A and B are shown apart, each in its own frame.
Chain A
Amino acid sequence: MTDTQCPAPIGFADVVDYWAGDLTQAEEDRIEEHVFTCAECARQLAAAQALARDITSVAREGRLHSVVTDAILNRLAADGVRIRTYTLEGSGVVPCAVWADDDLVVSRIRADFEGADSVTIVTRQASGDEIARVSDIALRPGQREILNAFSAAHLRNLPATRVHVTVTGQTGSEERIIAEYTLEHAGAFDRLASRG
């Protein structure tokens, strides 16, 4: 039972694959046998586990400001995260607001992204101040929708304002605007207070 320096440390890639469940049974067994005899590699595994746990906490607490997927939204909903969704498609102004019991607000941005290697989404207030920018969003072939998530806690700090969303596509070194949308943000509301 001595804590000596490991002569053959497990690589971080293997530690991550182990924690993610992407190894064969034999590979898993090998890592477990090593970790139970090596304090240094046990610490490495504990560090990866702690990060994985904290990523889970950030997501579960609705603190993601990012592009998400339906799989992520389904898991969040199963965990009790309250999600408000607005669909941005075509022209026209979309009315929106954030409520006291919302955890996450998601824009479903629908457009023809054909030909773009990646896209950037910039969300601005009418004043021009940026609310959020997500760059270099990778696209699947045929993808027609991007889900952009905002922490509701952050949006509650916004004043009532018109909000502009610009989607720019990158193809090689060229950039072009793919779509622009407008939302009329009415501010933050509390259902109970509004009844009184």
Chain B
Amino acid sequence: MKTLSTEVLIVGGGIVGASAALVLAKAGRRVTLVERDLCGSRSSGINYGGVRRQGRPVVQLPLSQRAHQIWAGLEALIGTTGEYERSGHFKLARSTADMQALEAYAELSRPYGLDIELISGERLRQQCPWLGGAAVGGSLCPEDGQANPRLVSPAFARAAQAAGAEIIERCELMQVVHDGRDFVAEARLGEDVMQLRAEVMINCAGAWATRLASAFGEQVPLSSGYPSMVVTEPIAHFLPWSLGVEGGSIYCRQVARGNVVLGGGRGYELDDKRARASHDSILGLLPQAAALLPALRHVHIIRTWSGVEAYLPDHQPVIGPSATQAGLLHGFGFCGAGFQIGPAAGEALAELVLHGRSAIALDAFSIARFAPAAAVVPVASSDRLSSHLERKIS
């Protein structure tokens, strides 16, 4: 059996894992990333494509703002624009109460520099002639935007590889233990089984992260969701912003080539890895689309898709050290909102490895919040991580 020894083993080649790999590789660390399918083929590749800070729980905004900076230099970082545009994200209010909620969020998020503009009444009608339905106003975050996840996410992995990370695709982790010194993992690669040894392991396995967490005694109430997506044929440009609806069930954006991408409703799972847009969600979305954007009345949808996204009950991800195992870090459970924040989450995880701490506080995202109170034995893992590696290297 082939054995591979590395410093950092990252499990999962989505945008979070690949971002962590990229930062670590650029810092000169030996990184191996194993991905069960192809990098960026799961949530990171099939999501709506919104690159959005607005609407996030406020506790995520520091990390999200950091991600915003990373996205600003995307092309230089990953070698492709990934069709990223800061076209603006506009969240609609359909009632006074909804508008008040948006106003409250604008206020709450002000310190974080989202530059939110509230638009209503006459200005709304003038600026949004394409808007149908009962919108009383909305909240615009001008620098939020959209990108093509199918291009962006795999490009993070390629950039990590170019920076020296070893990326092994179609490699499924079967089991992992810690032998007191290293993580020892068995993985299947084609017909073969290989052994991987690493001092540090980062669990970025998305909707499948709980298996890895539970191997080290950590139970996380992760559930799978299957957002339904629909895309239209290409049409003349009319929609400048990515749209969401406060308390609503539809979101949409128009890509540069003219197709309108719409999301809303739930698909269904085909097996533990794949999902499809459902009959209900497709038929539920179409009348909403026509009502929201009358320009779509005569337009056809040409494709639908879905995928598996990981949700946690408090709508916050898990980012940070394991509460039970030194050297293990987690970055998963982004609740369908991991695309924009992913690069910063990956960077934060890399910082934990490199410096023993992250520049941005991750306490709100600790896996310990799911542990039964008595069972947590706090591991001073942040100290142990970097000193672990220093000992090894010297």
Are the chains A and B members of one assembly? no
| Residues of B near any A CB (own CB < 8 A) | none
